Each structure stands twice: as C-alpha cells, then as structure tokens.
Amino acid sequence: HTLMWRTNRTREFEAIQSLDVEPVMNRVSRFNPPHTDRQTKQRCPLFPNIRNTMNGRPLVFVSKEWRNFLVYDEAGGSVKYSGLVYELARVLSTSMNFSFTFSPDPSATRNVTWDELRALVVSGGVGDALFSLFYTTASVGFNFSQPYPFYHINMTGAYASKPQTCVRLFVDKLDPHIIIFCVVSFVCVLILYTYLCNLREPSRRDDLNQGSTHWHTDSQTTCDLSYLWHFWRQMCEMFFPLHGSCYSQGNVPQPCFFSGKILLFFWFMFVIILTAIFKGHLASRLMSCYPSPPFATFRELVNRTDHRWGHNTDSSFLNVMRDAKGDILSELYSKMTRFAEHDPGVTPATSNALVLKASREERFVAIIGSLILKEILYANDIPNIKVIPDSLGINGLAPILPPDSELTQLMSEHIIALHETGIFNELADRMFSRIKTNPSANSSLIAHNHSGVQTYDQNRNNKVDIEGGCLFSAFLALAAFLVLLIELAMVHAKTTLSSGCTKT
C-alpha cells in the first residue's frame, strides 16, 4: 500500500479505503521526529500504488470492434467476451493487480461505432482505461494518453491476381550447398546399390554368364579393411555402368538397363524435390513471377481507369474516407461513390462479401484492414489474394487512458514485457488455433503490418508443400528400392534356372 499526501492538486484516483495512519507514523517518527499528535491520529485515504501494483483497482474496458471477441456461453446461455482482447486484459490485470469489467454489455450490443467510442472518451464515461481500435488518419477531437500499443493494423487493398510465371532454362547463380547435397546423395545411392547387389548369394565361377555384373567369390567374406577396399572399388567401378544404363550404352549388360534407369531417375527426382523445397534457390531462379495488376500504391491505383475499388458499409473507416479533405482518401471515396451508382456491389454490407467480390473480379480492389483480411482468409479458402504494399491508415490496438494519466508509463512497461517475453505471441497463437478449429467464432487475429497476411499465408503454403514433397519423395525412393529388389530377384532366378539347365 502507498500513502499519497497531496495538497492543491486534482486527484486522479479515487480512494480505495481509509486507513488509520497512527501505526505508520509511529514507525516513521524514528526518522522524522517532529510529527505532532494531530497528524498521527487522523485517518487518510488509501490510493493505488502505481509504482508496483494497483491494489485491485477496477478498470473499464471497451472497444468498437467487440464483434470479433464475442463467444456464446453454452453453460450460462448468454454471450460473453472472449478472444485476444479478453486475454490481454486478463494477463495485464494479473501482472498489475487490477480488476476489470467490460462495457457495453455483450448481450445488449455486438459493436460500438466510432462516434459512440469517441463520445465515451470525451465524456469520460469509460473509467480509467479502454482498448480501442482507431485510425490515426481520423481527426481526433479529444485529448488522451495512449500507452505502448499491442499491434498495428494497416488499412490496405486486396485484389485477386493469378500467378504469371515464366520458366527460364538457365540458373544465374547456384548455391554450392545444392551441389554438395546432390553429390552426397548420389554417393549414398551408389553405396546402397552396391550393397544390395552384394546381398546376392555367391555363385560359382562356372555359373557366371556374360550378362552378370556381380562380383562373386567362393569363400565367405569378412568385414575387414581389405573387404572395405574391395567394396569401395566395386562402388567406383559400378558408377560407369549405372551412368551408361541411363543412356542405354551398348557396352552395358542388359540386367542394368531397367534398374539403372528407374533407380537413378527416382533418386534424382527425390534430390531435386527436396532441394527445391527446403532451399528454394533452385525453383526461385528457374522461375520469374510478374506482379499483376501493375501498381504498388493507392496513388497509382487512383490514376488507373481499368480498375475499380470498394469498401464495406459496416466499417467506421468509410466515415474517415468521407470526412477526409483534399488527400488520397477523398479521391478514393469520390470515385468509389461513382462506381457504386452503376454497381452497388462495390460497397457491400460486410467485409466477407467485399473479399469474395475481389476474388471473383480480377480488376477489383477491396479496401480492407489487414486484420479482417487475415481472418477472412483463414475462415474461407480464397486463393490468389494479393495485398497492395501501401497503407491508407494505421489502426492501433492499445489502452486509452485519461489525459496525463500516471498509468501510461506503467502500462507501457507491462505491454513491452508481454512482447519481450513472448506472452503476447502465445496469446496470438491461440487466436490462430481458434480460427482453424472454429472459423465461425469470428475471433480476431494479429497483423503487425501490411505484409503480415502474405507472409503467414506463404508460410502455411510452404508447410503444406514441404509435407507433400517429403511424402512424394519418400514414395519415389520406396518405388526405386522395390524395383531394384524385383530385378535382383529376377536376375537371381534367371541365373539359377540357367545353371540348372546346364547341369541337366
């Protein structure tokens, strides 16, 4: 507990309780003797200790995007708050020792508009803290104190673009790791092939025929240095028949034709697939992708006449665009209204309908927040969605405090600690898991910047490609192994049959 003595000031905190200060002053009097009896007998109000903890002080949290953080409680039969914002408030309340409630009641409304949020902050009716999603491009007519934000969300543009890939027949620069990997892999297959060939039961020298390529001995071999040296010579000498079998050289014995082609083909397919997937250099240098459509900023988009754009009407950013004066937002809004006169579908009611329209029309750009876009892409299977590397405004999620609040610095330190310790990333991962298991929950996701959507989707696609490539490569290696075993069995059976016919 901290006892706060102030005179001629506006108190920012309400008193939690009153405390008899006589025992406290008796302990302090040893260091400050000139205390009077009147000072030691009065009861003083107790305020939160903002340096260490807040002593259970109640805070009110509110946001205009609560529709993303609601869940139906089957046990209680009502709607309650959940998701990322609830987890953040819970973790902060534990570390800073305060209690919190939510406003408004989730059963009464599912969304707070920008105007309502602004009125709450101006009137001071939200208590000491609230979580808010607000655009820095909007004119904010009130003073507030904002701690370190949890994350930023960019208002950007999404469009459908089919990949246009041009395959080149040469590689400018090859990673030496690829060459080393291929050489080591080929040496491994030679060792495997030589070992399998030596697994044949030794035949007598009289049973050798012209088509046999195996080395035979009449005595049992032991694994010593001479055997290893002999095995190494066999492996080196076998390289040329294997290489020749791939090109059907005439001096290569017939039994090597089938196994050499199949084995080396499958093995090199295995090497190329793994190399292209895990390194990525080979595939990236053999393919050149051209972006479409040819613009990278909203200024370039406005100047084009062959593209249209739109925004959903249930978003508060539509008011931001409408109220903007003399900048890119006003130009986008004026042309978007003209598009809507001929096609009302450019301003649909929901963000889901907006993204679906952009996925169906190649020359239509959906103006949407990266957080909402990421949520839609995870809830629906929409391919070939690209993001414009430009931003119309930054939407930040952070607590808003009263002007000159003493909690600003303290809460910033705790929020930074959440980032540095990885707790915030863990909370965000829960949101990703929730979207994958239950997309209808409509929970919110983290999006640090405009490339967050593309980066995460690309990582997800790479994971799928790696799993599929490993399975396919394992299948090819198994097929090559089985083909070799079958051919060895056929050669062994043919040799046995030939020796039996000779004896008879």
* CB burial readout 298-326, b (16+ within 10 A) else e: beebeeeeebbbbbbeebbbbebbeebee
For the chain, the average pLDDT equals 65
Mean pLDDT, rounded, for 295-319 = 86
Confidence at residue 502, expressed as pLDDT on a 0 to 100 scale: 61
Contact 270, 477 (CB under 8 A): yes
The pLDDT tens digits for 344-367 are 889 998 888 898 899 888 889 999
Query: How far is Cα 158 from Cα 472, in angstroms, rounded to an integer?
Result: 34
Q: How confident is the model at residue 248 (pLDDT cuts 50, 70, 90)?
A: very low
Contact 70, 79 (CB under 8 A): yes
Q: Which two tokens stand for residue 240?
A: 């040329």
Which of the residue ranges 1-10, 169-178, 278-287, 350-359 would you say has the lowest mean pLDDT?
A: 1-10
Q: Does 250 score more than 50 pLDDT?
A: no
Query: How far is Cα 461 from Cα 184, in angstroms, rounded to an integer?
Result: 29
Contact 364, 334 (CB under 8 A): no
Mean pLDDT, rounded, for 210-239 = 57
Q: How confident is the model at residue 156 (pLDDT cuts 50, 70, 90)?
A: confident
Instruction: Tell me which DSSP letter residue 367 carries.
Output: E
Highest mean pLDDT range out of 152-156, 450-454, 486-490?
Answer: 152-156
Residues 6+ apart with CB under 8 A from 114: 64, 134, 138, 316, 319, 320
Residues 6+ apart with CB under 8 A from 272: 282
Confidence at residue 383, expressed as pLDDT on a 0 to 100 scale: 76
CA dihedral 269, 271, 277, 283 (to 10 degrees): -70
Residues 6+ apart with CB under 8 A from 228: none
Q: Which two tokens stand for residue 478?
A: 């198994």
Q: Does 438 score more than 80 pLDDT?
A: no
Confidence at residue 339, expressed as pLDDT on a 0 to 100 scale: 93
As a whole-number percent, the residues of the chain with pLDDT over 70 amount to 36
Q: Is 0.75 surpassed by the pTM of this model? A: no
Q: How confident is the model at residue 311 (pLDDT cuts 50, 70, 90)?
A: very high
Q: How confident is the model at residue 171 (pLDDT cuts 50, 70, 90)?
A: low
The pLDDT tens digits for 73-125 are 667 666 666 667 778 888 888 888 888 877 666 555 555 666 666 676 666 65
Q: Which two tokens stand for residue 110?
A: 């599912």
Own/partner long-range contacts of 91-96 (Cβ < 8 Å, ≥24 apart): 91/418, 91/423, 91/427, 92/411, 92/414, 92/415, 92/418, 93/59, 95/414, 95/417, 96/53, 96/54, 96/410, 96/411, 96/414
Residue 72, strand partner residues: 79
Contact 60, 117 (CB under 8 A): no
Amino acid at 100: F
Mean pLDDT, rounded, for 217-240 = 60
* CB burial readout 134-169, b (16+ within 10 A) else e: bbebbeeeeebbbbbebbbbbbbbbbbeeeeeeeee
CA distances to 120, 166, 231, 489, 497 from 196, rounded to whole Å, are 79, 42, 12, 11, 21
For the chain, give every domain's residue range: 1-47, 167-216+231-287+466-503
Q: How confident is the model at residue 64 (pLDDT cuts 50, 70, 90)?
A: low
Confidence at residue 104, expressed as pLDDT on a 0 to 100 scale: 63
